[in-house]
Amino acid sequence: MTLPRSVLFRSIASLCAVLALLLAATPGQAAVFNPKSFTLENGLQVVVVENHRIPVVTHMVWYRTGSADEQRGKSGIAHFLEHLMFRGTGELAPGEFSRIVNRNGGQDNAFTSWDYTAYFQTVAADRLELMMKLEADRMANLALTDAVVLPERDVILEERRQVIDNNPSAILGEQMRAAQYLHHPYRIPIIGWESEMRTLTTQDALDWYQRWYVPNNAFVVIAGDVTVEQVRPLAEKYYGPIPRREIAPRDRVNEPPQQAARRLELSDARVQQPSVSRQYLAPSYVWGETEHAYALDVLAEILSGGPTSRLYRKLVIEDGLAVSAGAYYSADALGPGGFGFYGSPKPGVKIEKVEAAIDAEIAALLEKGVTDAEITDAKQRLRADAVFARDSIRGPANVIGRALATGQTLEDVEAWPARIEAVTRDQVEAAARAVLKPEQSVTGILRPKPAS
Amino acid sequence: MRTHLTRLLVILPLLALLAVASPAHAIEIKRVVSPGGIEAWLVEDHSNPIIALEAGFRGAGATADPDGKEGLASMTTSLLTEGAGDMDSQAFQKKLADLSISLGFSASQDGISGGLRTLTENRDTAFDMLRLALTQPRFDPESLERVRGQMLVGLKRERERPGSIASRAFWTSAYPDHPYGRRGSGTPESVAALTPADLKQVVSQRFSRANLLVGVVGDITAEELAPALDRIFGTLPATASLPEIPDVQPAFAGDVMVIDRTMPQSTVLFGQRGLKRDDPDYFAAAILMEIMGGGFGSRLTEEIREKRGLAYSVSAGLAPMDHSAAIAGSVGTANARVAESIALVRAEWQRMASDGPTAEEVADAKAYLTGSYFLSLDGSGRIASMLVAIQRENLGIDYLDRRAGLIEAVTMDDLKRLSASLFDPKALTFVIVGQPEGVTATKPAPGQDS
């Protein structure tokens, strides 16, 4: 989950979610995006993905810090600072950043996750230099006063009301994370706990900025109608002069093994339609038993890759119990990933029957495994989707940024199709057995509050 | 730390004043006419082995649903890909999945459109699947009941989302006696009553060569596309049978309606009459609305969000339709602050009506509207949608080349005249879902049980 600065720009979070699945390519065709990369002397890495279809570029700056790096008691500060990065530098007045982008015909926004914070602009290719100038400026020269910080704190409190508190399903999701992660900071919502958000100060924001916003803790991804030869001198000119500064390493506590299944129920008068969700603690590409990660990607595709996949076919079409059902695997994380299931009943069906049907599917998977045909079909779909992933400018920039920000390398991104291709049936079944254990699950039930 | 970039940034304001180069020239649109007389607009692009096609049917959307059958267009679009010809739902979907063909339909108030995306190697099969969906959908009882259940649950979910609750009441109050006052998702009663005969009637009456608009993008030549158009669409009837939809003005009369829901934040929608897409002042209105509620830097965002922190999201824009036009906006704000937010919206409306925009605001809005249009064309499917939209609005095949000029040609006099006649604070109507404080409702919201 990421939280964008503005709901006026919704596409980015969904793009990220979708494109995680789209990263694949035909065998023998080693490259996915053919990114080119160089690193400045101050430690800033720059990645370029060329796409010359229309004269447009997307310019993204990613910082390797997110809400999971927050100090206890300061929840929400990573996301708050993201908002404040638009509130002025020594040169620019509050709000001027976006106004300049807009009057150059461009769009800009930003988003924060547990592991990263990213800023981006999409503009005509001949405006790239200006964007680099602006981002370099706020990498080094943010200027904040209470006069702009305090109203913005009210904005993020409204954001919390809109995104979480007005939405019972988001409230349950927040509670489920807090139950799933016993110790790891992924248990804390990106937006923050309200009581702590209210106390965040200008100094807290500046401390956060000083601690993390340095070129050696950032990287730039540029995609679109530009070449690496054009980018290099511009990067040296604008980002190059910003001095590197040693920063404290990201210090994250680890997650102990989960040993007991957890279960939450939320009854809310606002809820009309019940639903069930279940998440298992899982490895990510870089955390835990990472050897299972690619097999879990294939497993998620088998269980949930469209209307012919196992869960939809069984629960929705054959048994007619549910209106929706599916599964997902999130592996792009520095810390623990998650493998999840969800379903919502057809009118007149009790939510318990949907949960039991999901349990039965999991049991059948663990007992009988998957078929060779399922493996072949899943790989084929992932492979074809890679071609579609290249049909975009913003998409590849997001995929690459997310990978680099969560501990992967460009080589990992480009090798993804080959690694998916190498997954065997035995590996998928072993991964399912390793992850789908009741004791490492959290189940959440959302239901209407019965009339009193 | 602060010194390095200062010198560089001094020249920023100068750069920012330069006009935006329009990327229009990069998109060359060809008119392709099949031997059977079916027209499509094509943007050839052979850089990836991908083809995207969009087919739009004018007038085929929810406004064509008979009274009591609201939700019909929506249910039809869901079922077109649930089996066709000799393939049942799972066979049809499996074929799409196995060949990585993406095919889906959707209905708006005014039209129905279908989007297809395929790898070049599966082109002919993909086109056949589209033809089958449009001409021989099965509407098997199992699929129909499943989709009906999904729609009924969708309606329940609408009732738990403040934005959907507000939207239904807002549009119903604006168009009490017109199809635009109904929601495309229907009602529990209307959805429960829809039959296979209703669905078949949509297919036979609303899809024709006369109201068809086609946009194609990607790895296909004009010579290859022309015969394919006949294969896909050639068996459609020559003309559609669509109800006459009267033109109508929205009935916004300055009311405030409150729908009581226990929510920490109120969802507020507001609106007044607008301008249709073919109005000569359309771009002038687009410039004014960009200045009023277009996003960061707009007056509403500045006053409500940036200065006072009253909301996370606030925006307003034009909502042109085939037979009417509105201006619609929204703001989400804590219950205790609704009165202040509404007062600010009204004040900004009055200020625009009295004083019009400033020259700087106009220059910025023109630059944004000119440049940003092309940023959304990120992918073949989006370009195909644009090709259909330009045809639907009769803007001309050279529209991309002319668009920037049309925006630049809007004068300050145009804008002053229009801002005085368009912005009508007394007619500005509010629908609020939540428990707003200090707000007095002037009439009940439509369709509320309580």
pLDDT tens per residue across span A134-185: 999 999 999 999 999 999 999 999 999 999 999 999 999 999 999 999 999 9
pLDDT at site B430: 98
Q: How far is residue A110's CA from residue A97's CA, in Å, rounded to a whole number?
A: 12
One-letter amino acid of A332: D
- What is the distance in angstroms between the Cα of B47 and the nearest Cα belonging to chain A? 8
Average pLDDT (B370-383) is: 91
**pLDDT tens, position by position, B185-205:** 999 999 999 999 999 999 999
Q: Which residue has the tokens 């009906």?
A: B148
Give residue A23's pLDDT: 39
Nearest to B333 among A150, A158, A269 (CB): A158
- What whole-number distance in Å separates Cα of residue A281 and Cα of residue A333? 12
What is the gyration radius of the CA atoms in chain A, in angstroms?
A: 22
In terms of Cα–Cα distance, which of B89, B88, B108, B99 is closest to B127?
A: B99
- Please provide the average confidence, as pLDDT, over all residues in chain A: 92
Q: What is the mean pLDDT of residues B291-305?
A: 95
Nearest CB to A316 within list B146, B264, B305: B146
A382: three-class secondary structure by DSSP = helix
A444 within 8 A of A278, measured Cβ to Cβ: yes
Residues 235 to 264 of B: which have CB under 8 A from any A CB?
261-264
pLDDT of residue B49 exceeding 90, the answer is: yes
Rounded Cα gap, residues B31 and B226, in angstroms: 10
Cβ B68 vs Cβ B193: under 8 Å: yes
Cβ-based neighbour number of residue A183 at 10 Å: 11
Q: How far is CA B391 from the centre of its chain?
A: 15
Residue length, chain A?
Answer: 452
The residue in chain B having the minimum alpha-carbon distance to the alpha carbon of residue A379 is B98
In sequence order, which residues have a C-beta less than 8 Å from that of residue A319 and are 6 or more positions away? A357
In tens, the pLDDT along B72-113 reads 999 999 999 999 999 999 999 999 999 999 999 999 999 999
Residues in chain B with CB shorter than 8 Å from the CB of A158 are 265, 309-312, 332-334
Residue-wise pLDDT for A17-36, tens only, equals 333 334 333 334 446 899 99
Q: Is B25 exposed, middle or buried (0-12, 13-18, 19+ CB in 10 A)?
A: exposed
Classify residue B84 by its DSSP letter: B
% of chain B surpassing 90 pLDDT: 90
Distance from CA of A432 to the nearest CA of B (A): 24
d(CA B402, CA B404): 6
Identify residue A325 by its one-letter amino acid code.
A
CA A419, chain centre distance (Å): 21
Q: Could A103 and B152 be called an inter-chain contact, meaning their C-beta atoms sit closer than 8 Å?
A: no
Contact A102 B364 (CB under 8 A): yes
- The Cβ of residue B23 has, within 10 Å, a number of other Cβ atoms equal to 22
First to last CA, chain A: 35
Catalytic hit among A41, A50, A70, A82:
A82
Which residue in B89, B97, B363 is closest to A306 by CB distance? Answer: B97
Residue A307 is nearest to which of B47, B93, B295, comparing CB atoms? B93
Confidence of residue B10 (pLDDT cuts 50, 70, 90): very low
Instruction: Work out the average pLDDT over A267-288.
Output: 96
Average pLDDT over residues B238-243: 98
Burial of residue A348 (number of CB atoms within 10 Å: 0-12, 13-18, 19+): exposed
Chain A residue closest to B317 (CA)?
Answer: A8
pLDDT band at residue A428 using 50, 70 and 90 as cut-offs: very high
SS3 (DSSP) at B82: coil
Mean pLDDT across the stretch B362-371?
Answer: 95
The reported pLDDT for the residue numbered B310 is 97
Inter-chain touch B367–A102, beta carbons under 8 Å: yes
Taking residue B228's Cβ as centre, other Cβ atoms within 10 Å add up to 24
Note the pLDDT of residue B168: 96
Q: Could you give the CA distance from residue B162 to residue A405 in angstroms, rounded to a whole number?
A: 35
Judged against a pLDDT cut of 80, whether residue A2 lies above it is answered with no
For residue A344, pLDDT over 50 is answered with yes
| Distance (Å) from the alpha carbon of B118 to chain A's nearest alpha carbon | 9
Q: Which of A136, A62, A97 is nearest to B1 (CA)?
A: A136
The DSSP string of A312-368 is IIIIIIIS--EEEEEEEEE---SS-EEEEEEEEEPTT--HHHHHHHHHHHHHHHHHH
**Interchain pair A102, B297: CB under 8 A:** yes
Position B24: which residue type?
Answer: A
> What is the rounded distance in angstroms from the CA atom of residue A345 to the CA atom of residue A201?
45
pLDDT for res B25: 57
Within an 8 Å CB–CB cutoff, is residue B188 touching chain A? no
For the purposes of burial, counting CB atoms within 10 Å of the CB of B280, is it exposed (0-12), middle (13-18) or buried (19 or more)?
exposed
| Domains in chain B: ranges and CATH | 30-234 (3.30.830.10), 256-434 (3.30.830.10)
The whole-angstrom separation of Cα A55 and Cα A106 is 12
Out of B262, B312, B377, name the one closest to residue A7 (CB). Answer: B312
Instruction: Select from A164, A135, A221 the least CA-distant residue to A1.
Output: A164
Secondary structure E strands in A34-78: 36-39, 45-50, 56-63
- Cα–Cα dist A211/B111, whole Å: 53
**CA angle B365-B368-B372, nearest 5°?**
150
**Closest to A307 (Cα-Cα) out of B98, B90, B106:** B90
Q: List Cβ neighbours of A275 (8 Å cut-off, separation of 6 or more).
A: A169, A342, A343, A344, A351, A445, A446
Q: How far apart are CA B149 and CA B156, in angstroms?
A: 11
User: A381 to chain B: which residues are within 8 Å by CB?
Assistant: 97, 100
Strand order in the sheet with B111-119: B30-33, B39-44, B212-218, B50-58, B111-119, B102-107
Integer Cα distance of B115 and A157 in angstroms? 39
Instruction: Count CA atoms closer than 13 A to A364's CA, side-chain side.
Output: 12
User: Contact A118/A60 with Cβ under 8 angstroms?
Assistant: yes
User: A273 and B307 in contact by Cβ < 8 A?
Assistant: no
Catalytic: A82? yes
Per-residue pLDDT, averaged over B154-180, amounts to 96
Q: For residue B215, what are the β-bridge partners? A: B41, B54
Only one residue has tokens 């989302």, namely B161
Question: What are the chain A neighbours of B308 within 8 Å (beta carbons)?
Answer: 151, 154
Q: What is the pLDDT of residue A3?
A: 53
B416-427 residue pLDDT tens:
999 999 999 999
Residue A126 phi, psi (nearest 5): -75, 0
From chain B, the residues in CB contact with A103 under 8 A are: 16, 363-364, 367-368
User: Which A positions 83-112 lie with beta carbon below 8 A of chain B?
Assistant: 86, 90-92, 94-95, 98-100, 102-107
Question: Is the separation of the CB atoms in B100 and B44 below 8 Å?
Answer: no
Nearest-neighbour CA in chain A from B66: distance (Å): 26
Please give the average per-residue pLDDT across A103-119, as a whole number: 96
Amino acid at B148: R
Whether B49 contacts chain A with CB within 8 A: yes
CB of A285 within 8 A of CB of A331?
yes
Chain A CB within 8 Å of residue B192 CB: no
- How far apart are alpha carbons A423 and A433 in whole angstroms? 15
Residues of B in contact with A95 (CB under 8 A): 296-297, 302, 306
Between A250-264, A368-382, B134-148, B436-450, the lowest mean confidence (pLDDT) is in B436-450
Percent of chain B whose predicted confidence (pLDDT) is above 70:
94
Q: Do the Cβ atoms of B59 and B111 come closer than 8 Å? A: yes
The residues that bridge with B417 in the sheet, in sequence order, are none
Q: How far is B51 from chain A (nearest CA, A)?
A: 10
- Mean pLDDT throughout B295-314? 95
Q: Is A180 helix (H, G, I), strand (E, B) or coil?
A: helix
Which chain B positions have a beta carbon within 8 Å of A137's beta carbon? 5, 8-9
Q: Are B277 and B393 in contact (CB under 8 A)?
A: yes
Instruction: Enter the DSSP assignment of B223.
Output: H
Which is more confident, A10 or A256? A256
pLDDT tens digits, one per residue of B336-356: 999 999 999 999 999 999 999
pLDDT, residue A390, reads 86
Torsion of CA B168, B171, B173, B179, to 10 degrees: -110
- A93 interaction partners in chain B (CB closer than 8 Å): none
B234 by Cβ neighbours in 10 Å (0-12 / 13-18 / 19+) ranks as middle
For residue A406, which of A287, A298, A252 has the smallest C-alpha distance? A287
Which residues on adjacent β-strands are paired with residue B432?
A: B258, B268
Q: What is the mean pLDDT of chain B?
A: 93
Residue-range domains of chain A with CATH = 36-240 (3.30.830.10), 262-448 (3.30.830.10)
Determine the pLDDT at residue A452: 58
Largest CA distance in chain A: 69
- How far is A120 from A100, CA to CA, in rounded Å? 14
Interface of B with A in 308-337 (CB under 8 A): 308-313, 315, 332-334
Q: Where are the beta strands (DSSP E) in A18-55?
A: 36-39, 45-50
